[in-house]
Amino acid sequence: MKILLAGSSGFVGSNLSDYLKKEGHQVTALTRSKDAPSNSIYWDPSHQILNPKSVEGFEAWINLAGENISGRWSEEKKKKILESRVQTTELLAKVASELNHPPKVFLNASAVGFYGTNRKGEKLTEESGPGTGFLSLVCQEWEKSLDPIEDKGVRVVKLRFGVILSPQGGALKTMSLPFKLGLGGPIGDGSQAMSWIALEDVLRIIQFCLTNEVYGPINCVSPQPVTNKEFTNLLAKALHRAAFLPMPAFLARFVLGEMADEMLLSSIYALPEELTQANFQFKYPALEPLLKDYFKG
């Protein structure tokens, strides 16, 4: 399959590009560099620049572009988080919808943050409505940006990612450091639900969505969410460390501000109902085997 990929330089994007190429696909990256190599195409989302002729003929488009959400959120940071997602998606959807031969499928990143910050006690599926909070607003605007291409009848898949785990980088690398130093523990009371997914399964889900007739929102999460306390205990066990130094909620808020409430203290128990119904088989449905594999030896 001939695939156009936005966000190829990010953590997921770089791994996805390698994975798809190994699976026999032809992958062309969008790049913001004007000195674009032969296997890439120049674009500038902030100025809505993308030559339609350069992207004609791709069977599948995948958009993973967006500002990293980690770190303390200033108003400027929040603006970048929102605009980097909405602007890129609006540009891609607009250009794709105007092509003589639009893509057959358009996969766009989103997140389980769509469901909001305070959904404790709820089991959330793709049929669940949006919640409240900054990340929910971002995800709603992000997904709404796909309207032009959906209106053209293109099969659109909205990939609502949970916390993506990999020893190579991302959230797990950051979270495991305190445990390696003997400083790990739950955040707040540890009862908040965490919807997670192995990087390997993220790549396999994307491949699955390219070749199977799934569409609309897809919760890219393991079928077995855990609480923050369960996660910290299993991570400590895998690292052969203790998990006895909890971070009080007030301290998390002091250090990270709004981000703490939106990401560390929020409770999202999302389930991959659409993938389950489509008979997708997870490599890592449970957390403990994943962490054992990641930290063995």
3-state secondary structure of 286: coil
Q: Give the containing element (helix H, strand E) for 140.
A: helix 134-144
Would you say residue 27 has pLDDT above 80? yes
CA dihedral 74, 177, 160, 133 (to 10 degrees): -30
Residue linked to tokens 């409770």 = 267
Give the model's pLDDT for residue 262.
78
Give the model's pLDDT for residue 136.
96
Region for 160 from its dihedrals, namely left if φ exceeds 0, alpha if ψ lies in -120 to 50, beta otherwise? beta
Give the model's pLDDT for residue 254.
66
- State how beta strands 193-194 and 226-227 pair: antiparallel
Give the model's pLDDT for residue 289.
96
pLDDT 10s digits, 88-113: 999 999 999 999 999 999 999 999 99
Supply the range of the domain harboring residue 71: 2-294
Give the model's pLDDT for residue 297.
58
Would you say residue 245 has pLDDT above 80? no
Give yes or no for a contact between 119 and 267, defined as CB atoms under 8 angstroms apart: yes
Return the DSSP state at 53: G
The pLDDT confidence band at residue 41, using thresholds 50, 70 and 90, is very high
The partner residues of 267 in beta bridges, in order of sequence, read 118
Cα distance between residue 91 and residue 49, in whole Å: 8
**Domain tally, the chain:** 1
pLDDT, mean of residues 227-242: 90
Neighbouring C-beta atoms of residue 38, cutoff 10 Å: 5
CATH code for the domain of 244: 3.40.50.720
pLDDT, mean of residues 32-43: 85
Would you say residue 6 has pLDDT above 70? yes
pLDDT, mean of residues 60-70: 94
Distances (CA, A) of 109 to 67, 86, 249: 12, 11, 29
Q: Which residue in 127, 129, 86, 124 sits closest to 108, CA to CA?
A: 86
Return the DSSP state at 124: B
pLDDT 10s digits, 108-165: 999 999 999 888 889 999 999 999 999 999 999 999 999 999 999 999 999 999 999 9
pLDDT, mean of residues 193-215: 97
Cα distance between residue 251 and residue 261, in whole Å: 11
Would you say residue 20 has pLDDT above 70? yes
